[in-house]
Structure 1
């Protein structure tokens, strides 16, 4: 960008130069090299289009999942958590070895063992992650949660999430139980045979404070 002096005030485009007024000064700059039509169709922009498409998908997928646990995320003590969660979605999407580049999805990434491992290992702010000894078993009528015996656990909230990463819609059910030292808790299976389901667990101590939370 440069300024110029002239008896004639020019506004508009001349060749590859653009003339306009900025803060009372006459300014001239070269046209941007970006071409919207070329971006959509030119082979030279193919990789950029692919990256842009996948980035948008990961952003929407992350927002979709976060919407189901937003109330708990606010207690995680990390105002920028959405950024690290978006990065998690990208890492999981990269595990999709089935789809062509530009169409890789979070859903297919979550269908891999590594994808679920990444989801379970994600730390929500200052809250501890769920113990690796915690696991679930699904049956036709019930989802059974197995947790290690811990005197510090008083209440458990359990969220079942059924995301649709194509339509970007989601259903979820939250249930709470007072913890028993049996280490085995039954929850109703609200989405039997419904494809990909995600399970989010919140553990509270006797004071009602969240000590741990994360995916299981």
Structure 2
């Protein structure tokens, strides 16, 4: 970009130059080589289109899932957590081995063991996440939370999420339970045969959140 002085003010393009006014100065620059039509159709931009499509999908998927647990994310005090979560969605999407490049999805990635492991291992700020001893298993009417021995909490929050990652919407239910040591922890099974379900768990002790993260939902054996 350069400025110029002339008795005649030019606005518009001449050849490969574009003239316009910026902050009271006459400015000239060369036209960009970017062409929207070529970007949409040219084989040269195929990889760029694929990456752009998947990036947009992962960004929307991450934002939708975060919206279901937003109140608890705020407790982490990590302003850039959304960026790490978007990178997580991208990593999970890479485990989709059934879709062609450019159409890989977070949904298919989460259906894989490695994709679910990545989700469970994600750390929310300085809050501890959960060992493999923590998981939920489904019964006919209820869900049962399996926890490690000597649960370090007096209150549990469980958010069950049924995401639709095609239209970027979700249904979710939040259960707040008081912990009774040596007692089985049960809560209502909100979704029947819902396909992909996510479970977000929060542990509190004396009003302070100590743990948060996703845990696995195990379905009953056929």
CA distance in 1, matches of 2:161, 2:183: 22
> Deviations 1:18-50 (Å, cap 9, x if unpaired)?
112223322211001111111111111111111
Query: Matches of 1:26 and 1:63 in 2, distance apart?
Result: 42
TM-score (norm 2): 0.93
CA drift at 1:151: 5.5
Q: Equivalences for 1:86-97 in 2 at 5 Å? A: 86-97=86-97
Contact conserved, 1:121 with 1:129, CA < 8 A, in 2?
Answer: yes
- Number of residues paired by the alignment? 215
Shift of 1:197: 0.2
Once the 2 structures are TM-superposed, how far is the Cα of residue 163 of structure 1 from its aligned partner?
A: 0.2
Q: Using the alignment, how far apart are the partners of 1:118 and 1:5 within structure 2?
A: 58
Contact 1:147 1:183 in 2 (8 A): no
The residue number in structure 2 matching 1:208 is 207
Alpha-carbon distance in 2 for matches of 1:212, 1:42: 49
Match of 1:198 in 2: 198
Instruction: Pick closer, same or farther for the CA change 1:151–1:112 going to 2, 3 Å.
Output: closer
Whether the 8 Å CA contact 1:147–1:184 is kept in 2: the answer is no
Q: Which residue of 2 aligns with 1:71?
A: 71
CA distance in 2, matches of 1:76, 1:157: 15
**Structure 1 CA distance, aligned partners of 2:174 and 2:24?**
59
Hey, what's the Cα distance between the residues in 2 that align with 1:59 and 1:19?
36
Work out whether 1:16 is the aligned partner of 2:20: no
Note the 1:45-124 alignment, pairs <5 A.
Answer: 45-124=45-124
Output one character per residue of 1:37-93: Cα deviation in whole Å (capped at 9) or x when no partner. Answer: 111111111111111111111111011111111000000120111110011000000
**TM-score where L is the length of structure 1:** 0.95
Deviation at 1:188, TM superposition (A): 1.1
Aligned in 2, Cα 1:183/1:126: closer, same or farther, shift over 3 Å? farther
CA positional deviation for 1:158: 0.7
User: Which structure 1 residue ranges, 5 or more long, are not aligned?
Assistant: none
Q: Is the 8 A contact 1:96 1:106 kept in 2?
A: yes
